[in-house]
Structures are given as C-alpha cells and as structure tokens.
Amino acid sequence: MEKSLLTSAVIFLLSGKLLSQTVIGKIVDEDNSGLAGVTLNLYINPNVYNTTTLANGSFSFIITEVKDEQLPTGYAISNNFPNPFNPKTRIDITLPNSGVVKIEVFNLLGESVTEAIENIMNAGTNFVDIELNGLPNGIYLLRIKIDEKYTVVKKVMLIYGSKHLATDIASNTQPNKNESNKSSFLDTPIDSLVATNSFIGRKTFTNLPNIADDLLDLGDLVIERYCPEAPTVLYEGKLYKTVKIENQCWLKENLDVGIMINRIQSASNNGVIEKYCYGDSITNCNKYGGLYQWDEAMQYVTIEGTKGICPTGWHIPIGAELVTLQTTVDYNSNALKAIGQGIGGGQGTNTSGFSALLAGQRRFDGVNFNFLNSYTYFWSSSISITTSAFIMYMFYYDNLLNIYDYNKDYGISVRCLKD
C-alpha cells in the first residue's frame, strides 16, 4: 500500500509542471515618478518577452521554460527512465540535425549538484545517462539546453532501493566534460531590458541580475527625462526642472516670476514683470505658477519666439511649436497633465513628463479668477488678430488638446521652450 501511494505521488510530482519565474520592477524618472505606457522588451536568449508599464510605472514578466510540446518539429525529449531511479537514469533526446546539448542538475534549492555535461549529439534519437550516486533521496531538476535555443526542465526522483537502469550501455554521444560548473544556482541570465515610447525614445538596461529564484524584483529603473544640455534652470531665485519631449526641451513647471498685482489691475509696460496669482494668493503662484497677460509675457514686443519673461536662452513658444507638442502626444491632453489632474476620461497620465497643472485663469476684465483645477491655458507668442493670440488649452473632464485664439487681456500660464 505504501509503495502504491509513493508511486502515485511520484506521478503527480513528475507530471510535466513548467518551471516559471516572475520578473517585476518599476520604470521611473529622475523624480521617482512612475512612467506609464512604456513598451518593454525583456531579452533572455533566445526569447523576447513583452509588456507595457502600468499607470504607476510598474511592470511584470512571466518567464517560462519550454515545454516538450512547444519544441519545434523534429525535436523531442523523453521523460527519464526508470523513474524513480537508483542511482542512474536515462533520457532520450531526438534532434533533426546534429547539435550541442547541455544538461545541468539542480536540487530544489536551485543549487547545482553535479558537473554540467555538454554533449554533441547526432541527428536522430540519442540517449544520455545521468548518475546521481552519493546524493540524498529526493527530487532533482534537469535543465536541458539544445544549441542554446531551447530549454526544457525535467523533474526526476532519486530513491535508493528503487529500480536500477536495466543496462550499462554507454551513451551514444560525444561527451565534453571539460566545462566547469560556473554557477551554483539554477538561474536564468537576462541579456537586456529595452524601454521605448515616443517621449523617452529608447533606453537599454544591461548588467541586470540573473533570475535565481521564482521572483526577481529589479526595483526602480530610472529613465532621465530632463534635457541633457540643461537638467535644471535657476531663474530669478527659483530652480526649474526641464523635460525632453522628442526634440523639444521644455521647462517642467509653469513660469513664476515677477511681483503679484491685484486681479483688477492691468499689467503695464513699466520695466517690472507683473503677474497674477489665482485668488490673489501668493501660495497659488508658488504651486501653479503665475498668470500673465499676453503683452506682459511678451514684454511688449510682438515678434514670434521672443524671450519675453523667459530665462535667457529660452522663449515663449510660437504657435507651430505648440502644434508640434500637440501632435507628439497625439492630441491627447492626458499625456501632458500631471498625475492627479483631471477625472474620468480627462485623468492625467503624464506620459510625456510635461506635468501640466489645471491652473485656471484671470478673466480678461479682472472681475474674477476662474477654473482652478478645471482648465489650464498656455500662451504662444503668435498673434491671431490684433487683440488675440494663440493658446493651447485643456480641460479636466476629457483628453482633448486644443489650440485656439484668446483675448490678450486674460491672465494665463506661460511655459518656456529652449531656443
């Protein structure tokens, strides 16, 4: 009865379960903000695994070894026989052409227990004998690699007193036993992890750790999105971060420069930069940036691409440059909105890194401020008609990204673009 139960247990344990491993991690920028929508390709020779980062930048891959039935036509690897065995067992390996077969043996802790065997096998059916003399009873894992293209994992059971291999006929292979056992773990080497999307371009991570257990956590993998030529800009006592979006280099925050004036006042050409703060509160300028009338932002010139109130080497974008940004994000304002801005279909993903805040506006006549946390608007330096200039704007409830002409007397946000 005990023997029958043992046999049943062996059949269950050796029923061809697939060895699987999970790789997880997170793609973040230099501010540790998760990057959503990044396409990832994990290269583990000979396979490529694909996934896309979630809203918080996290990702996961399920790595599996090859099942027998997944081997191409002409390849086959038998179960070992006898099984259980004592202390020698045999595996048949069928190849369509001659090739190199490598066999490694590990215990359930993932530790190598014998010297790796590398054999040159002929086309047709070959066999190789595995001997585990002197090892304790138990289950062992055979990792069988064919030409470094295909990998199959087999579970075998060593039980002293069980059936012996019926014959001692030598293996019909050409053994190469000069290979030393370089790794003491059942690990899977990672060649590289490649991250791509339209905003960050392409980033390749190499020298990653091997997968040596059921789970490998790569932690935070950083992709710097700042402009290499100007990671930060110190301007009028405030340090601004930058972000590279394809070929454009933007300030990552709304401009906040000048002295605050009351909403009922109009800015004047007096040599002093004047701004509005939503609700006449300097706290809102600190968070959302200043709100500027167009003439003040342009410093009373009408030349497209002028520096205006931007730092030296930067300018207020022309209408065509806003269109370039618009097309880069595929007219999707959510890609520009910071995480936490907007709701429903207008919820920001910030996949571009632009980090737009819904900063609202100061009405053209100074009666009040409107739309904080609902809408945001950005000046261009391009005139529509005498009293209007083009703006880019977005709403909290949808993902539309619009360009329109706007009365120059409104007070709205300014984002500077590098020359």
Residue 5: per-residue pLDDT: 28
Alpha-helix runs per DSSP H in 185-328: 282-288, 294-298, 319-328
213 vs 330, which has greater pLDDT? Answer: 330
Count other C-beta atoms under 10 Å from residue 208's C-beta.
Answer: 17
In whole angstroms, give the CA distance from residue 12 to residue 9: 5
Please give the helix or strand (H or E) that residue 10 lies within, else none.
helix 2-13
Residue 350: per-residue pLDDT: 92
Q: Which of 152, 206, 148 is nearest to 19 (CA)?
A: 152
- Answer whether residue 1 shows pLDDT above 70: no
- Same structural domain, 128 and 75: yes
Q: What is the pLDDT of residues 29-41, one digit of tens each?
A: 998 989 988 999 9
Mean pLDDT over 349-366 rounds to 96
Residue 61: per-residue pLDDT: 92
Number of Cα atoms under 13 Å in the Cβ half of residue 367: 4
- Answer whether residue 269 shows pLDDT above 60: yes
8 A C-beta contact, residue 49 and residue 42: yes
If DSSP codes are grouped into helix, strand and coil, which group holds residue 181? coil
- Same structural domain, 289 and 158: no
In whole angstroms, give the CA distance from residue 307 to residue 300: 11
Strand partners, 375: 395
Predicted confidence band of residue 173 (pLDDT cuts 50, 70, 90): very low
Number of domains, the chain: 2
- Answer whether residue 67 shows pLDDT above 70: no
8 A C-beta contact, residue 44 and residue 118: no
Residue 176: per-residue pLDDT: 41
In whole angstroms, give the CA distance from residue 341 to residue 334: 9
- Same structural domain, 201 and 313: no
If DSSP codes are grouped into helix, strand and coil, which group holds residue 321? helix
- Same structural domain, 186 and 263: no
Both tokens assigned to 57:
């930048």
Residue 333 CA to its chain's centroid (Å): 21
Residue 156: C-alpha distances to residues 15, 19, 80, 89, 108 (Å) = 10, 14, 7, 9, 11
Strand partners, 63: 21
Mean pLDDT over 128-156 rounds to 87
Residue 70: C-alpha distances to residues 6, 61, 66, 77, 341 (Å) = 30, 19, 6, 11, 47
- Same structural domain, 332 and 400: yes
Q: What is the pLDDT of residues 175-216, one digit of tens each?
A: 343 333 334 345 678 999 999 988 888 999 999 998 877 789
- Same structural domain, 76 and 159: yes
In whole angstroms, give the CA distance from residue 365 to residue 276: 13
Both tokens assigned to 338:
């910071």
175 vs 253, which has greater pLDDT? Answer: 253
Q: What is the pLDDT of residues 284-296, one digit of tens each?
A: 999 999 999 999 9
- Same structural domain, 64 and 95: yes
21 vs 170, which has greater pLDDT? Answer: 21
Backbone angles phi, psi at 324, to 5 degrees: -60, -45
Predicted confidence band of residue 280 (pLDDT cuts 50, 70, 90): very high
End-to-end CA distance of the chain: 84
Q: What is the pLDDT of residues 74-125, one digit of tens each?
A: 999 998 888 888 888 999 999 999 999 999 998 877 788 888 889 899 999 9
- Answer whether residue 17 shows pLDDT above 60: no
- Same structural domain, 214 and 253: no
Which domain CATH number covers 80?
A: 2.60.40.2550
- Same structural domain, 199 and 145: yes
Whole-number percent of the chain with pLDDT over 90 = 65
Q: Which of 368, 367, 346 is nearest to 358 (CA)?
A: 346
In whole angstroms, give the CA distance from residue 410 to residue 391: 11
For every residue of 88-110, DSSP letters joined together read EEEEEEEESS-EEEEEEEE-TTS
- Residues ≥6 apart with Cβ < 8 Å to 86: 158, 159, 160, 161, 162, 163, 164
Predicted confidence band of residue 150 (pLDDT cuts 50, 70, 90): confident
The residue from 201, 224, 247 where one domain ends is: 224
Both tokens assigned to 411:
């007070």
Please give the helix or strand (H or E) that residue 5 lies within, else none.
helix 2-13
The residue from 174, 196, 224 where one domain ends is: 224
26 vs 152, which has greater pLDDT? Answer: 26
- Same structural domain, 414 and 291: yes
Mean pLDDT of the chain: 87
- Same structural domain, 185 and 207: yes
- Same structural domain, 407 and 268: yes
In whole angstroms, give the CA distance from residue 58 to residue 35: 8
144-153, 226-235, 305-314: least confident range: 144-153
- Answer whether residue 138 shows pLDDT above 70: yes
For every residue of 189-217, DSSP letters joined together read ---EEEEEETTTEEEEE-SPPPB-SSEEE
Specify burial of residue 317 (Cβ count, 10 A radius: 0-12, 13-18, 19+): buried
Mean pLDDT over 237-248 rounds to 95
Q: What is residue 210's DSSP assignment?
A: P
Q: Strand 117-121 to strand 76-77: parallel, antiparallel, or no bridges (unpaired)?
A: unpaired
Length of the chain: 419
Range of the domain at 122: 1-224
The residue from 224, 242, 260 where one domain ends is: 224
Residue 234: per-residue pLDDT: 98
8 A C-beta contact, residue 46 and residue 147: no
